[in-house]
A and B are shown apart, each in its own frame.
Chain A
Amino acid sequence: MPSAGPPFSDTDSIRFKRLRLGVLVLGILVILAFTISSAYDSWRSYHRMVAATDREIGNLANALAEQTAWTFRAVDLLLIDTAQWYGSEGRLIPPERINDALASRTAGVTQVSLVTIVDAHGIQRHRSRGASPPNLDVSDRSYFIAQRDGSATGRFMSEPLVTRSENRAAVVLSHRLNDDNGEFAGVVTAIVDLDDIKQFYRAVNLESGSAIQLLREDGTLLARNPPALEEVGRTFPDFAAAGTSSTDRLLNPIDDRSDFIAVAPVRDTPLKLAVTRDAAVALHAWRDETIRVVVRTIIFVLLGALTLAALLRQIRRVAAGERALRESEERYALAMEGANEGHWDWDVAADRLFLSPKMKMLYGLDAHSVVNSRSAWLAQIVIHPDDMPHFETALEDHFSGRTPYYECDYRVRQLNGDWHWLRGRGRCLRDATGNPVRFVGSSSDVTAQRQAQADKEQLEGQLRQSQKMEAIGTMAGGIAHDFNNILGAILGYGELAHQNSREGSPMRRYLDNVMHAAERAKILVEGILGFSRSGLGERAPVNIRSVVSETLELLEASLPAGIRLERRIDAGDAAVIGDPTYLHQVAMNLCTNAIQAMEHGGLLSVTLECVEVSESRALSRGSLAPGLYVRLIVGDTGAGIPVAVLERMFDPFFTTKSVGEGTGLGLSLVHGIVADLGGAIGVTTESGRGTRFEIWLPVAGEIAAPPIEEERMLPRGNGETVMIVDDERALVGLAEEITAGLGYEPVGFASSSSALHAFQAAPDRFDVILTDESMPDLLGTELAREIRRIRPTVPIIVMSGYGGSQLANRAAEIGVNAVLRKPLHSRDLAESLARALRPVH
């Protein structure tokens, strides 16, 4: 599965950090630009306002100064003219008429309230209005002194003063009068009424906060509008000092306010005209506008800041949301990956199918293959044919609403050809009418779980089996114990009774039957002990190779036609702890079973080898701990074992053979013996291909094979037919093998009843009878008795695993030729057969 990438990547957080920074910088720039623009506008507006004010008051000052100049120029002309007139004509006319002449000259010059003529001594001689007070001396006046001393050139203008004759605020202009010799002869003066000028200024419509000042060059205030009577006459050097440049401003000493000021000189006079305007008033409009701009800017900045903050917060939220989404997706992907699950999403109506890459891999497809519809999906994957029906049923059941969820295990073929188990789980979403519209779910590979489950079930089965066998063993042990005691009593007392009964009496016959019955019971108990593993048998190190080799040698001679034996004996001198008789029984049982499984011929393969087991393993029956084992493999190419049989074939008395042909104890004996020796059995079978039994026995060191008896000349037969009867098929085979090897013609029977039938059918067919004693239906001696009834002369040899006087007695009674002890040795058999067939006389 492609990696989902690192958890929420750094690049994303950097991206969002950059975005936030960018927005922040941009926002601040916009706010800054706006603020600067506002400040600049305000600054521009201020300067425009100042310039406008300066221009306005400058113009006003110039205009008024010019106007004032004209006023004083008229007065000046009047004085010059009067002085000339007085010098040339005035002195000629009578003094009493001079006043009138002055009055007439003065008329029309309204700004002049009075014209006087003062003599050289400062006494006023004439005046244009009224009569001069007698001896009115003005010699102390500045306008007189300045002219007399010649410090004034031409015209002189006094400081504002209050006239002595009329008590009016005025300035006095004077002009020098010369006599014929050019000596000082007095002055002609004109009193200019300042009120008149003030009235003129008042006619100018001034804005509030503005003022017009008429000053002398030294700063003495002559007139002002608005009026400031108490200030007239005071000297304000600041006014005088204020230049004419338009930017000047001044702390107005008259009203203590910061004023704009424009000063214009009054031409041809020592006067200046100053127009002031209160800066607060002049800048009032600008200030109002500035306040509006500031408020607007602050509001805008606040709004901008708020917007910015909101934007940043939104970005943070988006980032957090994106991170959460990303993390959620990652968690989902990780969970899916962790669960090793793939998922699908099928839009049923549109047949649009989405498969996650993992899902495709689970289906045995390439992760990048294109599967867009269900039909494409079905075409590309291979579902195991055995699983197809329930796969379809599960889907149908869920789609039709019979199951709330879809769940189905099925096998899918992988790229490498293996079948993997998938567990699909899903659910479909339905529309209002209940029809499926969308089918969503996930699948995981459960091959390992299913295998583990199967292994577990097998182990549990084995456990159950071994518990069952243990229970059977305990029960069988108990039965054997009690039964053998009871049988011992029956047999023991029976024998005593037998001894005390009269020969040939009915009592003797009854007791014989009791004894026979008890013998049969004894054999049954012996069988039970065998498979139940509860009996205690001989145990010694056995060279397993020689046991198996002997068994195969016996088998080889009697192999049915069409069956080939392939052997690989490769176990060295490995020793197994056990009873050679039982080990022989194991090998023989397995081989005869294998041969019987191949009715139409085949290959019997027998392998014996040492195998090191490195870790514990469970087999069909029992399990292996680590260690060294010898493994006996017996394989056939027969029909195989059906499953039903496979499960039960080790059970005692379970047989597939017809009644009378087998006891059903063969494999259970094998199992009992192998389990008793700490071994285990593995079975693999395939229908029509064959079966393979593996017997694992723990190796207990090594032991040399028993020395092979030196070959003595054994008495051989001459094609005589030997009837061989033993309920153990393996032993029939063994005896057949030996007798055939000795030159006889063996005919084997696996039960005494079938043997008796055969003998009854053809009594002369058999030259000698070789029978086991312990058999389920008829004992060997009983069979002998029946056969002797049919043909009294036939030689009979009885074999028995255990001797005992009873058997000897019975055998002698019937006239059995010989009693042989099992396990059967070929020498004993050869000699017994020879003796039985060719009695030494």
Chain B
Amino acid sequence: MLNIVLYEEDFLMRNLLREWLGEAGYQVRLPDRQNAQSGGNADLVIASVYMPKQAGAQYVRAIRSRHPGTPIIAISGQFRSGLSQGGATAQALGVQQVIAKPLVRSDLLDSVRAMIGTSV
């Protein structure tokens, strides 16, 4: 079973994503806030980024160092539509994929599948 670590502060969003991903057969873990090293092994990280131009970039770096080598999908309400996979924005943030909120279920699941494949 494929592991996905989900960083999402908004509980509505968190629950929705857990539902979508769980239904698609992925195991979703929420990081333990108290234990910074609790990243552990994961197949994919999905991180919601607030203010990606300023503080958000720092936040993404912290997550990346916590999950070295793990692919990351950054999602944000402040991305503008029309972002491409592996584009300049993703490169600037140091992630593999960026998706603008509000998420469309199929967009998200397509991206996840493209990156780590279908969960058994």
Contacts and interface: CB of A to CB of B under 8 A. Distances in A.
B113 interface: no
Interface stretch (B28-36, B38-46, B62-70, B87-95): B87-95
Chain A contact surface mostly: helix
Interface string B1-39: 000000000101100100110000000000000000000
Interface in A555-580: 579
Nearest to A579: B82
B104 A804 contact: yes
B84 to A, nearest CB: 7
Interface string B73-89: 00011111111100111
Nearest to A534: B78
A535 B79 contact: yes
Interface residues of A, number: 38
A676 to B, nearest CB: 9
Contacts of B16: 488-489, 492-493
5 contacts: A488-B16, A492-B103, A525-B77, A535-B79, A537-B79
A488 B80 contact: no
Contacts of A579: 82
A534 B50 CA distance: 11
A701 to B, nearest CB: 15
A804 B82 CA distance: 11
A291 B81 CA distance: 129
A675 interface: no
A805 B105 contact: yes
Nearest to B87: A538
B51 interface: yes
Contacts of A535: 78-80
Interface in A518-542: 518, 522, 525-526, 529-530, 534-540
A43 B16 CA distance: 144
Contacts of A539: 88-89, 92
B61 interface: no
B89 A485 contact: no
Contacts of A486: 12
A5 B114 CA distance: 91
Given A477-B51, A491-B102, A495-B105, A538 B88 contact: yes
B80 A481 contact: no
A805 to B, nearest CB: 4
Which residue of B81, B89, B92, B100 has the most chain A CB atoms within 10 A of its CB atom? B81
A101 B60 CA distance: 188
A482 interface: yes
A723 interface: no
A483 B88 CA distance: 25
Nearest to A536: B52
Contact of B106 (A496, A540, A801, A804): A804
Given A536-B78, A537-B79, 9 more contacts: A480-B77, A481-B51, A482-B77, A485-B12, A485-B48, A491-B102, A492-B16, A801-B81, A822-B82
Given A535-B80, A536-B78, A805 B102 contact: no
Contact of A529 (B48, B50, B80, B89): B80
A492 B105 CA distance: 7
A522 B80 CA distance: 11
The 10 A-B pairs of least Cβ separation, nearest first, read A484-B77, A488-B102, A484-B101, A805-B106, A489-B12, A481-B77, A804-B104, A535-B80, A487-B102, A485-B10
A745 to B, nearest CB: 30
A538 B89 contact: yes
A256 B1 CA distance: 166
B19 to A, nearest CB: 7
Contacts of B83: 537-538
B105 A536 contact: no
Given A536-B89, A537-B82, A539-B89, A485 B106 contact: no
A549 B76 CA distance: 34
A537 B50 contact: no
Given A536-B53, A539-B88, A801 B82 contact: yes
A403 to B, nearest CB: 54
A286 B107 CA distance: 147
B104 A806 contact: yes
A483 B16 CA distance: 15
B116 to A, nearest CB: 20
A477 B54 CA distance: 11
A581 B10 CA distance: 31
Contacts of B104: 491, 804-806
Contacts of A540: 87-88
A802 interface: yes
Interface string A470-485: 0000000100111111
